Amino acid sequence: MSVLEMKNIKKSFGDLEVLKGIDLTVEKGEVVAIIGPSGGGKSTLLRCATTLETVDSGDITIAGDVLCASPSEGAKSVYCDKKMMQEVRSRFGLVFQNFNLFPHFSVRRNITEALIHVHKKSKEEADKICDNLLKKMDMSSKADAYPCQLSGGQQQRVSIARALATSPDIIFFDEPTSALDPELTAGVLKVIRELAEEKMTMVIVTHEMSFARDVADKIIFMAGGVIVEQGPAEELINNPKEERTKAFLAGY
Amino acid sequence: MDKLGAIFTQLLNGFGFTLGIFFFTIIFSIPLGLLIAKGRMAKNKIVSAIFRVYISIMRGTPLMLQLLLVYFGPYYVFKVSTGSIQVGPFNYRFIATVIGFSLNYAAYFAEIFRGGIQSMPKGQYEAAQVLGFTPLQTYFKIILPQVVKRVLPSVTNEVITLVKDTSLAQVLAVTEMFTAASKLASAQVSVVPFVVAGVFYYVFNGIIEIIMHSIEKKMSYYQ
């Protein structure tokens, strides 16, 4: 079963067409990395999938729930109602480039707040989930710390824990290591790698080519609002077919 | 010495009204300021323009004039007699003072709150949205607590100004502390009542500074 299905997604900001008809399917347990030059539409695609932007036309289905659909080919996409939207949002997690932790909440509250107040779990249940996740992130000692007391790498691991807390069907990463120095990057990549080994379904926008090749099942190369090339990770990185892909990868 | 004692008791009487104007204005103008800030930031251009004009008028005309309008307006414009209005221990002079102050200070607070709300990074809203928080939960759990921290220094400024502005109530013949001091000064042909009143204002503001500082300190556990 596919966890994410995006069909013929089009999106413009004013006169600028950012997505020119993107098709993307992610199967359960699959790790998909999206690479490509800045301004190529990677982040916009992710923001459309996570309800932060609305598409102009196209269909998006997450874990079987229809987020939006075009009534006919190329027609303006119609979104689901508010209730369904909340349902869809509980199906995925999103990890931001600059973490976006809530600075006035402790690490624990950052992770448990949505569990308690959106998913109506008891405080005890939420704490248990939080403790398990922090252990996994190697952050158990920081449960009562505030985000400003943590390094960037630690903050990003907390935000991954926050995204995992509601046991989503799929997690999106928007350049999770772009705000980190190489040393801190390693810790975050290690965590994502472990998630991949556990067969967590993930879509990762990244500029870390070797990481994408090692961890992803499939790599998608996006430029100019279209998918230029896609294929098995190793093959796309080592033997790109399109000239545009070759030119991009030559820079790494 | 007797004279000083008389000054003290009379000013203390007036200080009761000063405190009353101060607290009622704070209680009404802060929530009203939040609502006006919301209106000012409304997506609807007409709604936003209405609140912009309101803020502009409130900030652009003297508070003393606004107080006089609130007090005399009902009678001169609508022929409504306000002389018999009495809410608990408060007559219309006092009520008009509180209304005038609240409307005026709400405009200033609104602009402070707007600045605070608009300075919030977009990422905070997005993180909350993706986690499934409703807009109301997002506002009260995520945004407002952080805005309070951001606007606190500016709010302290306004609150201190308000303490001193209460003296404007004398135009409506409310016998707050400044009015009492003026009367005493002319009766005793002395500046001592003014000096004592000054000490009262200063001490009151000193207490406010200490309280606001401790709140700021309490909120300094995060950045």
pLDDT-derived band of residue B128, with 50, 70 and 90 as boundaries?
very high
Facing residue for A52 by CB, picked from B126, B131, B222: B126
First to last CA, chain B: 53
Contacts of A166 in chain B (CB under 8 A): 131-132
Question: What pLDDT digit, counting tens, does each position of A156-205 carry?
Answer: 999 999 999 999 999 999 999 988 888 888 888 999 999 999 999 999 99
Facing residue for B123 by CB, picked from A51, A98, A162: A98
Is A51 at the interface with chain B, CB within 8 A?
yes
Residues B84-107, mean pLDDT to the nearest whole number: 88
Contacts of A92 in chain B (CB under 8 A): 130
- The CB density around residue A90, as the number of other CB atoms within 10 Å, is 19
The identity of residue B169, as a single letter, is: A
pLDDT-derived band of residue B192, with 50, 70 and 90 as boundaries?
confident
**Number of Cβ pairs closer than 8 Å across A and B?**
58
Q: Cα Rg for chain A, rounded, in angstroms? A: 18
Contacts of B221 in chain A (CB under 8 A): 146
- Token pair belonging to B77: 């414009």
ipTM of the modeled complex:
0.93
- Coil, strand or helix at A94: strand
- Judge whether residue A72 has pLDDT over 60: yes
Instruction: Determine which of A83-92, A209-218, B13-22, B83-92 has the lowest per-residue pLDDT on average.
Output: B83-92
H-only helix segments in B41-174: 45-60, 63-78, 92-118, 122-130, 135-137, 144-165
Contacts of B133 in chain A (CB under 8 A): 114, 117-118
Q: What is the model's pLDDT at position B1?
A: 54
Kindly tell me the burial class for residue A252, based on how many C-beta atoms sit within 10 Å of its own C-beta (0-12, 13-18, 19 or more).
exposed
- Token pair belonging to B202: 């200063």
* Residues in chain A, overall count: 252
Q: What is the model's pLDDT at position A99?
A: 94
Query: If you average pLDDT over every residue of chain B, what do you get?
Result: 90
Q: What is the model's pLDDT at position A125?
A: 93
Please tell me the distance in Å from A143's CA to the nearest CA on chain B. 15
Question: What pLDDT digit, counting tens, does each position of A34-63 carry?
Answer: 999 998 899 999 999 999 999 999 999 999
Assess contact for A94 and A171: CB atoms under 8 A. yes
- Token pair belonging to B104: 């005026």
Interface residues from chain B to A (CB-CB < 8 Å):
121, 123-124, 126-133, 137, 141-142, 145-146, 149, 221-223
- The CB density around residue B161, as the number of other CB atoms within 10 Å, is 12
Query: Between the CA of residue B94 and those of A140, A167, B7, B22, what are the distances in Å?
Result: 58, 58, 23, 12
Query: Between the CA of residue A245 and those of A21, A196, A219, A228, what are the distances in Å?
Result: 19, 25, 11, 7
Record: contact B132-A119, CB cut-off 8 A: yes
Is A168 at the interface with chain B, CB within 8 A?
no
Contacts of A176 in chain B (CB under 8 A): none
Facing residue for A94 by CB, picked from B130, B142, B145: B130
Record: contact B222-A113, CB cut-off 8 A: no
- Coil, strand or helix at A92: strand
- CB burial of B85-113 (b: ≥16 within 10 Å; e: otherwise) equals eeeeebebbbbbbbbbbbbbbbbbbbbbb
The identity of residue A18, as a single letter, is: V
Record: contact A118-B133, CB cut-off 8 A: yes
Distance (Å, whole) CA A207 – CA A154: 20
